[in-house]
Amino acid sequence: MDFNDSPDEAAYRQQVRDWLDANAPKARVAGDPEGGDGMAASKAWQATKAAAGYACITWPKEWGGQGGSPVQNVIFSQEEAKYPIPGNPFQIGLGMCVPTVMTFADEATKQRFVGPALRGEEIWSQLFSEPSGGSDVAGARTKAERAPDGSGDWLISGQKVWTTGAQFSDFGIVITRTSPDKPKHKGLTMFWVDMKDPGIEVKPIHQMSGGSGFNEVFFTDVRVKDSQRLGAVDEGWKVSLVTLMNERLAVGGQTGAGWQQFMEAARNTPGLDGGSALKDGALREKLADWYVQAEGLKHTRNRTMTALSRGQTPGPESSIGKIISAVQMQELGNTAIEMLDQYGIIDDPELASLNGAFHFSLMFGPGLRIAGGTDEILRNIIAERVLGLPGDIRVDKDVPFKDMPTGR
């Protein structure tokens, strides 16, 4: 691994620092990032980045990017994180949905959607997971059938769940079942949809963390044009792989309080012997484990950075980042609240330790362990594609989807 920037990378990093110093927000805007002042601040910052070519650095210049390298994108993200920037409701659209549109849509569709999404004028959501499928994207039961009027349009009916940001999204990409007579991976078709169309109902899910970032989305005979289809009929699995590949890179990384914040809290919390809780041997063991995990993740990211710098494509080892950091986030939050004893029940950000960051870690951790692939899915990826272990036996590989047992 090479821990240092190349001369070109160092020059680009300085360019980014100069631009951010002149343009980045100096204070965080108060308010809900999903609406009101928070959303307005997010859109304003996105437009500012887009105007300078920093919104999607790796995108071609003709689509508003810089035609830059992945490592330049990482450099910008590293430097941007040092500023109190607003929330990013565009991550799913620009990281997953719009690249899929750019790959499979016709020219008119791309011209219509890419620019507004890049500038933060329109927000996208990804409609994949379903109540009966979970992380098995190919198990989708939401159906799309040709309209009976001979128009060539499609009617979509079904339910999606865990859809992030659906309540404020303008558009979305949805995977549907179009041929139940084929095996589950071969009868899927993807479309883009207008989230304001008749027949689409969005119901936010109140999460135990206090937020409502996830949603249920119901489709009732939603009419879409055939021109809204992304890829060939019944070839939606191939299209979804493009989206999922981007999702693995977009979801993950360290979120919430880390081992440094825990150590500081332990230092300032009384222990059983009257001294600092940091002297407790069991806590120190956990702290050491979290530190080792954090260092391992840092060096794994350094390997990814090195690969990007050399023009290589990072492999499936990127799945390691989320599975480690999400579990650590939940465990660290739980241990911190137990350490705080009776004060651990106080979750008011104005009164709680670290403004309630430990409570957020505990309550949001389970959701992060689902987003972008469950722990089990990611372990399978690591086992099969990193360690070279044999894959799971799939008894449903050649079974028509309509003949698969439903558990009823």
Could you report the per-residue pLDDT of 317-333, keeping only the tens digit for each?
A: 667 888 888 899 999 99
Could you report the per-residue pLDDT of 233-284, keeping only the tens digit for each?
A: 999 999 998 887 665 455 444 556 888 999 999 998 888 777 889 999 999 9
Task: State the DSSP string of 123-149.
Answer: -EEEE---TTTTT-GGG---EEEE-TT
CB 117 within 8 A of CB 93: yes
Q: Would you give the DSSP letter of residue 28?
A: P
Query: Averaged over 192-203, what is the pLDDT?
Result: 98
Domain range summary for the chain, segments of one domain joined by +: 7-118, 124-248, 252-370
Phi, psi torsion values for 39, nearest 5 degrees: -65, -40
CA dist., res. 269 & res. 249, Å (int): 37
Phi, psi torsion values for 86, nearest 5 degrees: -70, 175
CB 180 within 8 A of CB 187: yes
Buried b (16+ CB within 10 A) or exposed e, 5-34: beeebeebbeebeebbeeebeeeebeeebb
CA dist., res. 76 & res. 86, Å (int): 16
Q: What is the pLDDT of residue 251?
A: 46
Could you report the per-residue pLDDT of 3-47, keeping only the tens digit for each?
A: 678 899 999 999 999 999 999 999 877 655 555 678 999 999 999
CA dist., res. 272 & res. 382, Å (int): 41
Could you report the per-residue pLDDT of 83-102, keeping only the tens digit for each?
A: 999 999 999 999 999 999 99
Domain topology for 124-248: Butyryl-CoA Dehydrogenase, subunit A; domain 2 (2.40.110)
Query: Averaged over 380-400, what is the pLDDT?
Result: 86
CA dist., res. 260 & res. 391, Å (int): 38
Domain topology for 252-370: Butyryl-CoA Dehydrogenase, subunit A; domain 3 (1.20.140)
Task: Band the pLDDT of 355: cuts 50, 70, 90.
Answer: confident
Superfamily of domain 7-118: Acyl-CoA dehydrogenase/oxidase, N-terminal domain (1.10.540.10)
Q: What is the pTM of this model?
A: 0.83
CB proximity list for 402: less than 8 A, separation 6 or greater: 180, 181
